[in-house]
Amino acid sequence: MSSLYFQQMSIQEQVIPLHLVTIGSNNQPYLNRPVGLPYHQIFLATEGKGIFRLFGVGDFELLPGEVIIIPAGTSHEYFPLSRRTWELGFVGFDGKLADTVLGQLNFQETKKMTIRPFSVIWKNIEQLWFIAKKNEEDAQWHASKYLYSLLLELKKLSEVNYGPENDSYSPNEHVQKVADFIRTHYAKPLRVASLSNMAGYSNHHFTRLFRKTYGLTPHQYLEKIRFERSKFLLEEEKNLLVSEVATRVGMEENYFIRLFKKKYGMTPGAYRAAYERDGS
């Protein structure tokens, strides 16, 4: 496997309860997702070992035969622990019932699980890969069935594990509430003063607590969300003008283009062109 992404859903497909966004496997390098991704992720380790670090929560070591579920919008980074291969399979999904299904299975928060027998889960992943690779007209309908089956099998076969370092950690719920608000309302003008008031702290104290939990200041966190979302829009919604992308993430067009180029070394238009060229 490598990786496959589905295109934007058609109107008919938007009723599908679970929607496959991406699937694949690779020798995992270091990746940093300070604001998470706009969809849920399942990772399966098949070789080597590495760390998933959830900002404000703790570290989860992932070994062969173990699985971790990362809900949408979860700030995290992950990296191998040695020069040896760290092979990870991954599935990204969303959908109108994704949150409901994860909640019913008690997967609404990050879970690390040991799966026995692991081959059962991997067979399900291979089925999803086959569907995604063929990408037939009704692919998302078939993928939805296998996604639901995958989640049920994970629940059935899992032995949930929590590292002792995570048992006693209780993130500040006021800071988490504000972070949730930022992830939902990132397109609106948000000021630190109003966010501090929402949390019930002074600006200085709120910023310190926020940085401790997420590794970024509130402004940096908001900016990161906007740029992660803008990249997603540039990649997946090819008909959107750059000006429309800027509006959707709450930024003025010229300011957006200037900061995007400073951050990624190219304009949004050049980024989209490079993405389309590399994906062809």
Tell whether 9 and 134 lie within a shared domain: yes
Tell whether 38 and 88 lie within a shared domain: yes
For the whole model, what pTM was predicted?
0.61
Query: Which range marks the domain in which residue 71 is found?
Result: 3-165
- Domain harbouring 179, CATH code: 1.10.10.60
Q: Average pLDDT by consecutive 10-residue portion of the chain (280 residues)?
A: 52 73 89 88 92 82 92 89 82 92 90 87 90 85 92 86 43 79 89 92 90 85 89 87 95 95 93 78
Closest CA relative to residue 22, chosen from 280, 278, 236: 236
Tell whether 159 and 130 lie within a shared domain: yes
Tell whether 195 and 235 lie within a shared domain: yes
Residue 167, pLDDT score? 38
Residue 170, pLDDT score? 46
Tell whether 207 and 230 lie within a shared domain: yes
Residue 212, pLDDT score? 81
Residue 164, pLDDT score? 40
Token duo for residue 233: 């829009």
Number of domains present in the structure of the chain: 2
Residue 3, pLDDT score? 56
Token duo for residue 226: 């906007």
Q: Which of 131, 146, 165 is the last residue of a domain?
A: 165
Residue 42, pLDDT score? 96
Q: Which of 148, 165, 182 is the last residue of a domain?
A: 165
Tell whether 125 and 247 lie within a shared domain: no
According to DSSP, residue 135 is labeled -
Element (H, E) at 22: strand 19-27
Tell whether 202 and 152 lie within a shared domain: no
Angle, CA of 179, 60 and 126, to the nearest 5°: 100
Residue 165, pLDDT score? 41
Tell whether 146 and 182 lie within a shared domain: no
DSSP β-ladder status, 40-47 and 66-70: antiparallel
Tell whether 183 and 156 lie within a shared domain: no
Tell whether 59 and 156 lie within a shared domain: yes
Helices and strands in the chain, H and E counts? 11, 11
Tell whether 61 and 135 lie within a shared domain: yes
**3-state helix, strand and coil shares in percent for the chain, rounded to the nearest 5:** 50, 20, 30
Q: Which of 144, 165, 186 is the last residue of a domain?
A: 165
Neighbour count for residue 139 (Cβ, 10 Å): 17
Residue 279, pLDDT score? 57
- Domain harbouring 156, CATH code: 2.60.120.280
Token duo for residue 82: 């040695």
Residue 14, pLDDT score? 63
Tell whether 18 and 136 lie within a shared domain: yes
HEC string for 34-97 = CCCCCCEEEEEEEECCEEEEECCCEEEEECCCEEEEECCCCCEEEEECCCCCCEEEEEEEECCC
